[in-house]
Structure 1
Amino acid sequence: MVILEANHLKLSIKDRLLLDVDKLQVGKDDRIGLVGRNGSGKTTLLEVLAGKRDSEGGTVTARGTLELLPQLKRTDTVKSGGEVTQEYINQVLAKRPELLMADEPTTHLDKEHIEWFEKKLARWPGALLLVSHDRMFLDKICTKIWELSDGKITEYKGNYSAYAEQKEVERQQHELAYEKYEKKKQQLEAALHTKETKAARATKVPKNKSVESGASKPYFAKKQKKLDKAAGAIKTRLEKLEKVEKMREAAPIKMNLHNEESFKGRVVIRVEDVGGKVGQRVLWKPTRFTIKGGEKLAIIGSNGSGKTTLVKKLLEQGAGITVSPAAKIGYFSQNIATLDVNQTIFENVRSSSVQEESFIRTVLARLHFYREDVHKPVSVLSGGERMKVALAKLFVSEVNMLLLDEPTNFLDLESVEALESLLQEYEGSIVFVSHDRRFIEKVATRILEINAQEIQLFDGSFQEYLEFEPQNERDEQAEQLLLIETRISEVLSRLSITPSEELENEFQALLAEKRKIMSERM
């Protein structure tokens, strides 16, 4: 059953055709992730489908109830962003629409509440159409991906990872097509050169030929005409050869890192007996840890646990925090006030850079600002694009440690993946706060968790952290299991001699307790 159908949708903003969609259908069991670059029209499409915005042409037909969970939510409240998002989610789910559309629903939610929402949607009986930059969320929820690009929708089967694999296949096919095109083009150009050279020589009478009667001249003229015709045919084939553009390749990053020799692998920040408080509320008890040059430390924890407070303490270098003279820290907190809107992208980034122009251009290209794009004034950029410029400006400045507070907010998926790649190659230290689980998984080499007023550090990737089970907990379970098995043996022995309902009940209870511990250890 089709819950929603749209036909021949068109919508322009200023002179740009934003939507040009022939046909869309959402079935009653569909779970669709809508992806695309910042400014591609994802939010606009949801609003048109939900009847919140009119299109210039086309029709939208709803055959069931639908609700839209908007990206921009009310701010006239003392509640946190996460609390407001949860409130909106609960209100929409309570209406039980047959089609739920949601625009960046995990924004401001911490890891626990994202997982809570995922479980809600896993049991959701209706259809879903979601816009999200959270790839793990799209992986767990979606069975179909719609990619919006240049106003058109392309559909891909599977979750986000399946979509990414299909895009990689498309990229490889494009590379093969480009190689085939280049090879054919070179063959035709070589053949054309040969024919043109022969045609130029055709009117010249060879030295061993007699020219007394001039009888040979028509022969060579005819030969030249034939060669010219063949050359013309090759030119036509060249002109009709379907051009395939070369794929842009990501240039490697090798930067001149500030104080590299005295920085890498050495302790650059030492935290000793530092606690965290907001008013009288304890965020974390006094703790101690170190950060080394070249480490990439992710700070995780629930909303309100003190992640940003910890980052600011590191930045301010208060009591108990020692920073090596070799470390030079740069801070990013989604603040784009550092940008001069009257300057171009390149001028903004170069203004505080100690790197060469070629390196600046490489970094900008890695963040998808290509060639003449770098000369656009910042004033015409979207919010997400300005975020990328601010990140690039910090990246190429005279620093060797980046403190990043939610750097992926407001970035589209393509930009998040570009930033991941850039940070993976960065040879300085990175300390960052993020709720984006895939981003943490890709970038972090060490995890710092704030939980229940305690700070715990884990040396390893995010995936290893998720799979880790403290040894003392396993030892305690092993001892408990051994004790239960001993009691089971005793009860069985007594049952064999004097069976009773009381002993049978005790036996069944012990078996249930054993099964529970075994399942927890799996």
Structure 2
Amino acid sequence: MSMIQVSHLTFAYEGSYDNVFEDVSFTLDTDWRLGLTGRNGRGKTTLLKLLMGQYEYVGTISAQVEFDYFPFSVEHPEYLTMDVIEEFYPDYVDWELRRELSLLQVSEDVLYRPFDSLSNGEQTKVMLAALFLKENHFLLIDEPTNHLDREARELVSQYLKTKSGFILVSHDRAFLDTSVDHILSINKTNIEIQQGTFSDWWEGKQRQDQYELAENEKLKKDIKRLAQAAERTNKWSHEVEKTKNGTLNSGSKVDKGYVGHKAAKMMKRSKSLENRQQAAMEEKSALLKNIESSENLKLSQLTYHKTQLAELDRVSIYYGDKPVCTDVSFTIEKGERIALSGRNGSGKSSLLKLLVGEDPPTYTGTFRIGSQLKISYVSQDTSHLQGTLTEYANAYGVEESLFKAILRKLDFARIQFEKDISSYSGGQKKKVLLARSLCEEVHLHVWDEPLNFIDVLSRMQIEQLLLEYNPTMVFVEHDREFCRRMATKIVQL
């Protein structure tokens, strides 16, 4: 056991006036299985790269272990997988590697295939196996689930449960709950560490938030009372001041000195109340420093004139002569939220492309879709995103103010609106696609892995939206908890 000590860490990207981290200090145990969570854009990947020494920073990071980052860079993906591993770790022991691959249910024949011929899921498992071969190394595992289907996620989470000494960035709640024993959360104003699973941390955060909100209500009432008292006292002092130049009922002159003293005394009391009010307001501001905004989203889906929107009857999809799925049959009825489920490569994305007519694949069987049916499609790919949010909204014909309002509710800072979309984090880019889709007036939403890179709080907002508005949709998503809560029907491929 050894410690990783971060002291007074301050960092900002070159050319930026905003610090990602400011005077942050914390200590980590290298035996922990640590989950790293926080809103998109808070600096999770940045923190991992700072630990790797890739950026210059103010403060100190001290550790008696070396850091390795997942996914590591592969210079020659055309090499055989065993050669790629040897380039990364020349001293690996062959039987130990085969043991790790066996634990991850990866066939040994992948070692004799070119690395770039492996599926994304196989590449993920091979990289993890290689990383865990090294001793006295602390692993920084960044979003390993993005290329794993649901079955593979469960397998990898069980694998990580048997290991120790890593930081894991993932927004999949079930995956985190199985894999980690501590949570490091990047909040609005600080970094906190708590023992337990993600669910333990979330339960504690909700309790803390409720306490802070209750205290906030008390403060608001106190501020209102102080404001009313200050207003009354101020009014009285002005009334008394007016009498300085008047006369008493008996006709005698007013004692201006006495009246002025009394008015000044009341004015002083008024100022004291105002100061107390201001102090209470500042206390309120400090109290709510880590309350996360998660306002409700809104969706206005068009009503289709028929109950059934589309039908697939014994549909098989082909790429060349090779079938990717066969004899798929299901209907899409109004109000259904249909989850397509299956291993990577089972044809889920191909079916979605058939539905939306985007580069439609070759198929056999019967496919019927309603006339004049309007569809909003969210693809996995965000690489095409560039330009300003205004330009993007105009290109898709969505209302700019609504589009930006949704992004604000998904925790976009206003300063992000001025930046080019290409500079956004992976999660922020995915939110752009989702916000645009929520703005579009359509009959059907088709989403392909919409939650990749999306932070947990935003996932919960989207869940709440779908449960409240009950839109008709077909989606592919490997987040087990999201599918459990959202799907009204599952089509297994």
Structure 1 length-normalised TM: 0.75
**Counterpart-to-counterpart distance in 1, 2:53 and 2:169:** 17
- Which residue identity lines up with residue 434 of structure 2 in the other structure? L
Amino acid at match of 2:197: N
Partner of 1:467: none
Residues 300-320 of structure 1, C-alpha deviation per residue, up to 9 Å, x if partnerless? Answer: 111111111121222238761
The 3-state SS of whatever aligns with 1:349 is helix
Aligned pair 1:250/2:295, yes or no?
A: yes
- Output the CA distance in 1 between the equivalents of 2:70 and 2:406: 36
CA distance in 1, matches of 2:442, 2:56: 48
Aligned sequence identity (%)? 29
Farther-moved stretch of structure 1 (21-30 vs 129-138): 21-30
Partner of residue 323, structure 2: 282
**C-alpha contact 2:296 2:465 (8 A) present in aligned 1:** no
Residue 138 of structure 1 aligns with an amino acid whose one-letter code is L
Distance 2:239 2:200 in 1: 59
- Structure 1 residues 393-402 or 357-366, which shifts more? 357-366
Q: Is the 8 A contact 1:41 1:151 kept in 2?
A: no
Match of 1:42 among 41, 44, 49: 44
Query: RMSD value over aligned CA atoms?
Result: 3.1
Q: Residue 100 of structure 2 corresponds to which residue in structure 1? A: none
| 1:87 aligned to which of 119, 123, 126 | 126
* Residue 144 of structure 2 corresponds to residue 105 of structure 1: yes
Aligned in 2, Cα 1:271/1:220: closer, same or farther, shift over 3 Å? same
8 Å CA contact 1:134–1:436 kept in 2: the answer is yes
Superposed CA offset, 1:366-411 (max 9, x none): 3234678656664654343232122211221121211111111232
Among candidates 206, 221, 235, match of residue 183 of structure 1: 221
Aligned-partner SS, 1:241: helix
Offset at residue 150 of structure 1 (A):
5.7
1:333 aligns with 2:333: no
Q: Deviation at 1:17?
A: 2.7
Query: 1:445 Cα shift?
Result: 1.6
Within the alignment, does 1:122 sit opposite 2:161 as a pair? yes
Match of 1:412 in 2: 455
Alignment partner, residue 344 of structure 2: 303
Please tell me whether the aligned partners of residues 268 and 323 of structure 1 are also in contact (alpha carbons under 8 angstroms): yes
Tell me the secondary structure at the aligned position of residue 68 of structure 1: strand
The answer to whether 1:16 aligns with 2:18 is yes
The structure showing larger relative contact order (alpha-carbon pairs under 8 Å, at least 6 residues apart) is 2
Kept in 1, the 8 Å contact 2:297–2:406? The answer is no
CA–CA separation in structure 2 for the residues paired with 1:165 and 1:308: 35
SS in 2 for 1:442: helix
Change (3 A) 1:72 1:172: farther
Farther off after superposition, 210-219 or 165-174: 210-219
- CA offsets 1:74-133 (integer angstroms, 9 cap, x no match): 666232221211110121123355633311122201222222212222222x32221112
Structure 2 residue aligned with 1:4: 4
Residues 297, 461 of structure 2: 8 Å contact kept: no
Q: Are positions 1:224 and 2:263 aligned together?
A: yes
| In structure 2, C-alpha distance between the alignment counterparts of 1:61 and 1:205, rounded to whole Å | 74
Partner Cα distance (1:66, 1:200) in 2: 69
Cα separation, 1, equivalents of 2:279 and 2:198: 37
Does the C-alpha gap of structure 1 residues 22 and 50 become closer, same or farther in structure 2, counting only changes over 3 Å? same
After TM superposition, the score normalised by the length of structure 2 is 0.79
Larger Rg: 1
Deviates more, 1:97-106 or 1:200-209: 200-209
Contact 2:294 2:458 in 1 (8 A): no
Contact 2:304 2:443 in 1 (8 A): no
Name the CA distance, whole Å, in 2 between partners of 1:95 and 1:159.
Answer: 26
1:33 match: 35
Partner of 1:233: 272
Change (3 A) 1:20 1:225: closer
Counting matched residue pairs gives: 441
Gaps of at least 5 residues in structure 1 are: 451-522
Once structures 1 and 2 are overlaid, which stretch shifts more, 97-106 or 26-35?
97-106
Q: Residue deviations 1:122-165, cap 9 Å, x none?
A: 222x3222111222111111121111246842112221111111
Partner secondary structure for residue 119 of structure 1: helix
The C-alpha deviation readout for 1:161-209, integer Å capped at 9, x for no partner, is 1111122122212212221221111111111111111112114459993
State the distance in 2 between where 1:354 and 1:56 align.
43
